[in-house]
Amino acid sequence: MSRTTSPGGSPTPRLLIGLVITLAAVVAYSFYITRQISGLRELQQNLVDRNRRDSLQLMRIQNDLNQIALAMRDMLDADEPYPLTAWTAQFQRIRVDLDDAIKLEEQLSVAIRTPDQRAYLRDSLTQFWDAVDRMFLMAQNGRDEEARTQIRLSLQARQAALSTAVARFLVQNNESEEQAAQRITEIYDGVQSQVFVFLTLTLVAIVLTTLYLIRSNRRLFAQLADLSEQRSELAQKLIATQESTLRHISRELHDEFGQILTAIGAMLARAGNHAPEGSPVREELREVSEVAQSTLDKVRSLSQALHPVTLDEAGLEATLDWYIPTVERQTGIRISYEKSGTPFELEATAAVHVYRIMQEALNNVARHAAVERAWVRLRFLPKSLELEVEDHGGGFPVQSSRQGIGLVAMRERAELLGGNITFTRPAEGGTLVRLTVPRGKAEAAHA
């Protein structure tokens, strides 16, 4: 009995859903990674780089404050022969540089400096320069001692306070830079771990999809194999039915109609013998007897064509010895028949299939090749049986997508034999049909 399977649903919708989910995950993750990288870039540009430039300005301010401290030390040193007003130009140059540094520092420190801290630095510097102006005014009025006292009691203290504030800002920048570096490291670590997780999930999805494809393919191939088996069983039953029908019709024609026509011929012969010699009735009976004999010959020929009796009684070799000359007489094609190897007896069904394949091949030569010569070769090999039918006519497209029922039947019969049939084009042109059947499939079993 043939097995039946209920075809499963196509895996295409599930694969499309999986593809959409995978693409959505890739897009979402790519967007997330892009956001992380953008945030990292912004962090580096707006915080780290800006913090470093701010630190450079703070170091510039600190350097100017140190120059002021050195200048005030020289102004308090009694060994200097210069009056205090001689340092006016130096203080003015430092003041211009400090004002420029403070402006740049305020622009760079917006993100990390509080408004109170910025106001403190700006106000302290303003108060310091007010005190410097008063000190130089005292010096211009000849009050050098009061000016030095102003430096000693007020300016140096203000300068020290400013230096301390700038140093605190530098420390704050360093701490902020360390925090940013730590945050950058955390972002890198997070992205790295997420990439690992994403790749792992992607690999799992690929593995699951592959397993699903393998499972679906196995199920589909199993269904195809089952359908192929059912098709082979159906083809075998159809061919068996065809052969049985042809055998039955052949026997009916040979036995029933043959006997009837033989009896009619005998009766006509007896009737003719009773008619007077030279009479018209005797001549007409003779003509009818000839028609009956001709019909009997045609019936026997048709019976042999449908299913040769020799195939059952004498085997394939004897049938080919009879059939090939018959084809030559009917078609006018000269057929070279070659037999080689040590013959072995064929199983009855195998002999029928080989004969039908050869018969269909010669019919194709007669109908389509338009040649005057063909070749038939039967080889009994140690491990197989080979049959070749060759012509050098027009041939036919070997890879034709639409094949006639005859070619399909030849393939089916070769498959039922467990053999192989090929249709090739010889070097001289035309068509070469080669059937190869394993000896174990073709040879008749012996007790």
Farthest CA pair distance, the chain: 188
In the structure encoding, which two tokens stand for residue 349, read together? 């069904």
In this prediction, residue 97 carries a pLDDT of: 93
Cross-strand partners of 375: 336, 390
CA-nearest of 350, 374, 348, 359 to 430 is 374
Gap between the Cα atoms of 269 and 265, Å rounded = 6
- Contact between 349 and 310 (Cβ < 8 Å): no
Gap between the Cα atoms of 108 and 48, Å rounded = 11
Task: Output the CA torsion sign for 161, 166, 170, 176.
Answer: positive
What are the average pLDDT values for consecutive 10-residue runs of the chain, which has 447 residues? Answer: 49 73 77 73 67 84 91 79 85 92 79 73 88 90 88 89 88 79 76 78 82 82 80 72 71 68 75 74 76 74 68 82 88 91 87 88 87 92 92 67 70 88 89 92 62
Gap between the Cα atoms of 124 and 92, Å rounded = 17
In this prediction, residue 205 carries a pLDDT of: 80
Instruction: Sketch the domain layout of the chain as residue ranges.
Output: 12-213, 308-442
Gap between the Cα atoms of 238 and 412, Å rounded = 11
> Which whole-number Å values give the CA distances from 185 to 41, 45, 173, 181, 434, in the listed order?
13, 15, 18, 6, 74
Gap between the Cα atoms of 268 and 288, Å rounded = 7
In this prediction, residue 339 carries a pLDDT of: 92
In this prediction, residue 444 carries a pLDDT of: 66
Domain 308-442: CATH architecture, name and number where available: 2-Layer Sandwich (3.30)
Q: Which fold, 12-213?
A: f41 fragment of flagellin, N-terminal domain (1.20.1330)
- Contact between 74 and 175 (Cβ < 8 Å): no
- Contact between 315 and 407 (Cβ < 8 Å): no
> How is residue 307 annotated by DSSP?
S
User: Which stretches of 275-315 are DSSP H helices?
Assistant: 280-306, 309-313
CA-nearest of 192, 328, 305 to 254 is 305
Helix, strand and coil in the chain, % to nearest 5: 75, 10, 15
Is there a shared CATH topology between the 12-213 domain and the 308-442 domain? no
CA 398 to chain centre: 29
In this prediction, residue 379 carries a pLDDT of: 93
